[in-house]
Chains A and B, each alone.
Chain A
Amino acid sequence: HFVSLIKKKLTFPWFGMDIGGTLVKLVYFEPKDITAEEEQEEVDNLKSIRRYLTSNIAYGKTGHRDVHLELQDLTLCGRTGNLHFIRFPTQDLPAFLQMARNKHFSSLHTTLCATGGGAYKFESDFRTMADLQLHKLDELDCLIRGVLYIDSVMSRGLSECYYFENPTDPDHCIQKPYTLENPYPLLLVNIGSGVSILAVYSENNYKRVTGTSLGGGTFLGLCCLLTGCSTFEEALKMASDGESTRVDKLVRDIYGGDYERFGLPGWAVASSFGNMMSKEKRESVSKEDLARATLVTITNNIGSITRMCALNENIERVVFVGNFLRVNTLSMKLLAYAMDYWSKGQLKALFLQHEGYFGAVGALLELLHPS
């Protein structure tokens, strides 16, 4: 039984799933070193799954493969192949389960390692709709494991980790690589639908310091309500065209300048959306301004809470991950600036290319190297 258990875990396909509050993140290992013999023995549905995943970049109406994040020629568990990064809305999980059922995924008898809240919430759906047994894993364990792994494999080539130099100067703001050698201690801020903040002391020693419910889901939810947009991409586009200072009440709106006594510059926001209690001002702002204000408010709140944690945990490096930051340079630069400015240069904001996929990677690693 023990031997068959190990054998069971190593048969293809190799997936790691992270079923979050808004998005499902799927990592898939595509073997490139299949021998002629293996190919011949390969069952049809396994071949079909591999072809479907690797020859498409879009799946159905909402599934997407982030090709720019693909890791090629990766060696995992003695096999060489490409690691693919796929995402789709959690709302569309039923369609995914239907597909898994249609492709007889369960006959492949592989373990499906899944993390995120959905691994618990949808456990019985997987069983009843697709005859699949999930191996449930904690999302934060997987997150950390995934971050450390990806950073280690990437250090040979392009850097996984980066930061922003001159974040407030649009003409001189550049992304620069950063090596996460000796990563500990690290403050890890995971911005998904909601936010978790972890203090990481070593690979197996971390604590969840706190969290906040004002996360990516809040940004998107409020934007949809305030502007009529329907997707994250639309919301970001609007935000990039807006001006939040028309919506927010700044320190200078209240003081007529800086609040010097406590070091608050006139341009700092005193009251987010504070101008919106005035009918006149409500009528003078655009949807783009509202989207921008929502982005700035959520981002700065996360930055502020993070800074407090970093101070109290005595940690100087803060790594921001999660899909709120996907294609969202506005928030990344804001976080980079805020960390630097309010800490007077003591704190450094770091970012990772694979943003929201680390939980799924961690789940895959658990499949291959059970802890």
Chain B
Amino acid sequence: MDIGGTLVKLVYFEPVDITAEEEQEEVENLKSIRRYLTSNVAYGKTGVRDVHLELRNMTMCGRTGNLHFIRFPTQAMPRFIQMGRDKNFSSLHTTLCATGGGAYKFENEFRMMADLELLKLDELDCLIRGLLFVDRMGFNGHPECYYFQNPSDTQSCVKKPCTLDNPFPMLLVNIGSGVSILAVYSENNYKRVTGTSLGGGTFLGLCCLLTGCETFEEALEMASKGDSTNVDKLVKDIYGGDYERFGLQGSAVASSFGHMMSKEKRDSISKEDLARATLVTITNNIGSIARMCAVNERIERVVFVGNFLRINTVSTKLLAYAMDFWSKGQLRALFLEHEGYFGAVGALMELLKPTDDL
């Protein structure tokens, strides 16, 4: 489990190599949990299983099975804990490996409401461990990692697979509610370079305020239809063209939301324009900070993960473009299919890692 600021990410290993003997001995609540999770794609009002991300026929710890990827809002945590209690999860005496801030925040609730003891793990340790594992395993025979070729050309911009062979050093940018930027030198050697509080939560929060939308999906839908240049003040709005001296094209944004100080302009833009401007502003700010880190840490590969990028091709392409353009081709942006789930995978791996014999 990865209990984040906005979403809880849960990975569940469904064994498919259960022998007849095992099946017979299996306790009721364990069977019930397995059936509930694998025969539904939605749970309650807000839980979702990302079926397209399912990893089939995985071998983990000598067992074969499918790895399922489930998410629900952290706001629904009390309901989840209630379910854990109702299904008598604690009687199964398993360790529940959990990471993310919520592993600390909800530790008591788990204990008091569902009699469950969490094994708390650091979110960044889990992120790296999970990421390297999934990339190594591959995605049902396909690469997990991808990039965009010709990111600056909307016509010929195409998604291309790649592998993270010799992944180190890499700059890892985790865009969740907030952002953490890590320089990773090896599986066990990394540092948190910096972070920014202008993350996915900012995009969603501002969009809800500015447009009246309520969900991430709605916000993205609106953004896909809007034009941010009606909202942002561009270099050409100030210079009448390029600011040549310092290589700033007229089309670059000089002041995000800069037109919105004018009542006339406020009255002339749409909610879609505002959603787009919010998306572009947050995305470009992250890109700019990531680029500065990459330059300073002397790392050329920047891997972007986190659920801000879920179904968000506008941002992924913008990041790909920004990394390429502002670095004059020196930096490359990479993305991973399992986006926001690596922390949860890393937590699962901690559960399965071989323990030292006494």
Contact = CB atoms under 8 A, between A and B. Distances in A.
Contacts of A312: 292, 295-296
Interface string B3-28: 01110000000000000000000000
Given A271-B197, A282-B209, A120 B255 contact: no
Interface residues of B, number: 68
B177 A271 contact: yes
A256 B102 CA distance: 8
Nearest to B243: A117
A21 B240 CA distance: 11
Given A20-B238, A21-B255, A273-B205, A224 B5 contact: no
B258 A253 contact: no
A300 B197 contact: yes
A213 B281 contact: yes
B194 interface: yes
Contact of B210 (A122, A208, A217, A225): A225
Contacts of A226: 209-210
A153 B119 CA distance: 64
A217 B237 contact: no
Contacts of A265: none
B299 interface: no
Residue with the highest number of chain B CB atoms closer than 10 Å, among A116, A230, A270, A279: A270
A21 to B, nearest CB: 4
B177 A254 contact: yes
A114 to B, nearest CB: 13
Interface string A273-313: 11111110010000000100000010011001100110110
A138 B245 CA distance: 8
Contacts of A271: 5-6, 177-178, 197, 199-202, 205
Interface string A187-198: 000000110100
B290 to A, nearest CB: 11
A194 to B, nearest CB: 4
Contacts of A311: 296
Contact of A308 (B122, B206, B289): B289
B233 A277 contact: no
Interface string B204-246: 1110111000100000000000000001110101111101011
Which secondary structure dominates chain B's binding surface?
Answer: helix
Contacts of A276: 204-206, 208-209
Interface in A219-242: 220-222, 224-226, 230
A282 B288 contact: no
Contacts of B231: 221
Nearest to A125: B240
Contacts of B136: none
A262 B273 CA distance: 37
A216 B255 CA distance: 8
B37 interface: no
A332 B252 CA distance: 27
A249 B209 CA distance: 15
Interface stretch (B89-97, B165-173, B259-267, B337-345): B259-267
B278 to A, nearest CB: 9
Contact of A217 (B177, B200, B255): B255
B307 interface: no
A140 B246 contact: yes
B210 A218 contact: no
A255 B214 contact: no
B35 interface: no
A112 to B, nearest CB: 17
Contacts of A144: none
B258 A193 contact: yes
A120 B235 CA distance: 11
B197 A262 contact: no
Contact of A261 (B122, B252, B263, B295): B122
Interface of A is mostly: helix
Contact of A249 (B100, B177, B214, B284): B177
B132 interface: no
B296 A277 contact: no
Contacts of A121: 238-241
A22 interface: yes
B238 A254 contact: no
B260 A282 contact: no
Most buried by A among B241, B243, B258, B261: B261
B196 interface: yes
A255 B237 contact: no
A308 B292 contact: yes
Nearest to B4: A254
A194 B254 contact: yes
Contacts of A270: 5, 101, 177-178, 197, 201
Contact of B198 (A22, A253, A272): A272
B191 to A, nearest CB: 9
Contacts of B38: none
Nearest to A261: B122
Nearest to B196: A304
A13 interface: no
A217 B258 contact: yes
A218 B205 contact: no
Given A193-B233, A262-B192, A271-B201, A256 B5 contact: no
A226 B4 CA distance: 27
Interface of B: 4-6, 75, 100-102, 104-107, 122, 124, 177-178, 192, 194-202, 204-206, 208-210, 214, 231-233, 235, 237-241, 243, 245-246, 248, 252-263, 266, 274, 281, 284-285, 288-289, 292-293, 295-296
Task: List the 4 closest pairs (A to B, CB-CB), nearest first.
Answer: A221-B260, A276-B205, A121-B240, A271-B201
28 contacts: A21-B233, A117-B240, A140-B245, A193-B233, A194-B253, A194-B254, A213-B258, A214-B198, A214-B285, A217-B254, A221-B259, A221-B260, A224-B260, A225-B260, A225-B266, A254-B177, A255-B104, A272-B197, A273-B201, A273-B202, A274-B202, A277-B204, A297-B197, A297-B202, A301-B285, A305-B288, A308-B292, A308-B296
Given A254-B105, A257-B105, A297-B197, 8 more contacts: A20-B238, A22-B258, A213-B252, A217-B257, A270-B101, A271-B5, A272-B199, A308-B289
